[in-house]
């Protein structure tokens, strides 16, 4: 029998964080599969459903910044216990909603809880992962998130058919509470305070302060430095929200599939994203090891992801064949997910001492896209009856994202910019 002692403590911490990404994504995207049953029972229009989708994104975007700062200040351990309890309770609450208003309120609470999760997890990874494994760590954690995307349609469809859509939310919410207990029991902010960590592991980890840093944060300079990353993440986020919220309904309505077949094709698309996350992290770290050029390692992979996704979306606009469309969407999602690992590694490269806040600034762009895009998609579908039109605007933003990525400059660490009033010091290659 395989013994857990064969795995290092850093490996187990990474795996627990991976589980967090898995459960949070199931909690946030399960509504897209349950949506047809919810619409039928609650009498929701596509616009009202779009508002429920986007209600998650408003507090999610706000708490990217507030939660990231809280993670830097309070520490990931306490922060994720608090936030995990909120998002778990909110997921269960959705199982008891009676209309559009209560659904929106529950989704707002879900956004509050999950808004702090990824920036805080990035802070935890900056403490527990060596610099040369940041791309891999971000790749595999987000691969678990996409696996949550892929798992959610068949899982929720099964629960809806076997029990009810209400029971599906209650069950996954209870599973989320189990993760909170696991995090409370095993994780420590400072690796040196964990009983299971070895001296060899500690020597490979970054030398920095761990938690409780109450020094003044340079908000405005850090915001300006992260702005190109935020704008790039907005472009990626627009595409991702389209996939997360509408792909199951797209297959259901555009191609007239039943719930089971829609879930099957949706899962196939999301599984391609799992592979993309892993390849993106592997490629980014591999380029960094071979060339020592962090710009190529991060920006190069991001640009390839945007342009590849754009090229693969073209057949979706011109083909009505289900297999062609499904394969094209899968390929587009694969390329889009190449972006995730390098863009999430970038805040740790640029500002490791403020990685929670910096990643919060970055992912605010993702949350902002989530505020706007679901409502735009729902309104477009209600006005035109066409489920393919939302993809057209997303393609424009894919090209814009490839352009904005050129301005990220992960080779310019924030601490060095502060010393030189915004000018990068020569030879700054890694953070």
Higher pLDDT, residue 283 or 134: 283
Spatial CA neighbour of 118 closest among 51, 61, 58: 61
The band of 146, judged by pLDDT with boundaries at 50, 70 and 90, is confident
Mean pLDDT is lowest, of 29-33, 176-180, 202-206, 324-328, for: 202-206
- 418, 221 Cβ separation under 8 angstroms: yes
Average pLDDT, the chain: 84
Has residue 134 got a pLDDT over 50? yes
Q: Hunting for tokens 């994203």 — which residue is that?
A: 273
The radius of gyration of the chain from alpha carbons, rounded to an integer in Å, stands at 21
Residue 215: per-residue pLDDT: 57
Region 289-310: what's the mean pLDDT?
Answer: 93
Which tens digit of pLDDT belongs to each residue from 343-378? Answer: 988 988 888 778 778 888 998 898 888 778 777 877
The H or E element spanning position 339 is none
What's the whole-number mean pLDDT along residues 179-200? 89
Tell me the residue length of the chain. 431
Q: Are 33 and 362 in contact (CB under 8 A)?
A: no
Please state, in angstroms and rounded to a whole number, the distance separating the CA atoms of residues 368 and 54. 9
| Interatomic CA distance for residues 394 and 406, integer angstroms | 19
Query: What average pLDDT does the segment 400-427 reach?
Result: 67
Residue 418 has pLDDT above 80, yes or no: no
Q: Which of 35-44, 86-95, 316-325 is the least confident region?
A: 316-325
The 3-class SS string of 149-179 reads: HHHHHHHHHHHHHHCCHHHHHHHHHHHHHHH
Identify the pLDDT of residue 206: 66
Instruction: Give the integer Cα–Cα distance in Å for 45 and 30.
Output: 18
**Per residue in 29-60, pLDDT tens?**
889 889 889 998 999 887 788 788 878 878 88
Q: pLDDT band at residue 19, thresholds of 50, 70 and 90?
A: very high
pLDDT for the residue numbered 192: 85
Sorted by where each starts, the structural domains of the chain and their CATH numbers stand as: 9-190+218-414 (1.20.1250.20)
- Separation between Cα atoms, residue 268 and residue 247, nearest integer Å: 11
């Amino acid at each position: 029998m395989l013994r857990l002692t064969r795995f290092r403590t850093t490996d187990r911490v990474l795996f627990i964080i991976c589980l967090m990404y898995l459960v949070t994504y199931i909690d946030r995207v399960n509504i897209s599969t349950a949506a047809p049953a919810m619409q039928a029972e609650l009498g929701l229009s596509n616009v009202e459903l779009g508002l429920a989708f986007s209600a998650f994104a408003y507090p999610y975007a706000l708490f990217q910044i507030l939660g990231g700062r809280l993670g830097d200040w309070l520490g990931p351990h306490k922060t994720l216990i608090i936030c995990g309890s909120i998002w778990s309770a909110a997921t269960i609450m959705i199982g008891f909603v009676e209309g559009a208003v209560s659904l929106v309120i529950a989704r707002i609470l879900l956004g509050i809880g999950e808004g702090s999760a990824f920036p805080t997890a990035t802070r935890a990874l900056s403490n527990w992962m060596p610099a040369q494994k940041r791309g891999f760590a971000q790749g595999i954690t987000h691969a678990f998130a996409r696996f949550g995307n892929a798992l959610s349609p068949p899982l929720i469809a099964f629960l809806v058919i076997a029990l009810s859509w209400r029971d599906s939310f209650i069950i996954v919410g209870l599973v989320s509470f189990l993760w909170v207990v696991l995090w409370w029991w095993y994780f420590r902010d400072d690796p040196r305070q964990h009983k299971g960590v070895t001296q060899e592991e500690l020597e490979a980890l970054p030398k920095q302060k761990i938690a409780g840093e109450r020094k003044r944060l340079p908000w405005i300079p850090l915001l300006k430095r992260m702005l190109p990353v935020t704008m790039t993440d907005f472009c990626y986020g627009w595409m991702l929200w389209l996939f997360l919220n509408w792909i199951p309904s797209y297959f259901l309505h555009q191609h007239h599939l039943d719930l089971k077949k829609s879930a099957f094709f949706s899962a196939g698309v999301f599984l391609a994203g799992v592979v993309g996350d892993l390849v993106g992290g592997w490629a980014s770290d591999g380029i960094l090891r071979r060339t020592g050029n962090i710009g190529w390692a991060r920006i190069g992979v991001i640009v390839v992801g945007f342009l590849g996704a754009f090229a693969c979306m073209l057949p979706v606009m011109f083909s009505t064949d289900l297999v062609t469309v499904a394969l094209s969407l899968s390929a587009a999602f694969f390329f889009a997910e190449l972006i995730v690992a390098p863009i999430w590694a970038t805040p740790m490269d640029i500002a490791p001492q403020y990685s929670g806040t910096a990643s919060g600034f970055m992912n605010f762009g993702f949350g902002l896209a989530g505020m706007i895009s679901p409502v735009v998609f729902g309104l477009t579908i209600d006005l035109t009856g066409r489920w393919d039109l939302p993809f057209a605007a997303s393609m424009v933003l894919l090209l814009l994202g490839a352009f904005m990525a050129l301005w990220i400059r992960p080779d310019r660490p924030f601490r060095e910019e502060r010393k030189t009033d915004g000018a990068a010091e020569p030879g700054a290659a890694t953070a």
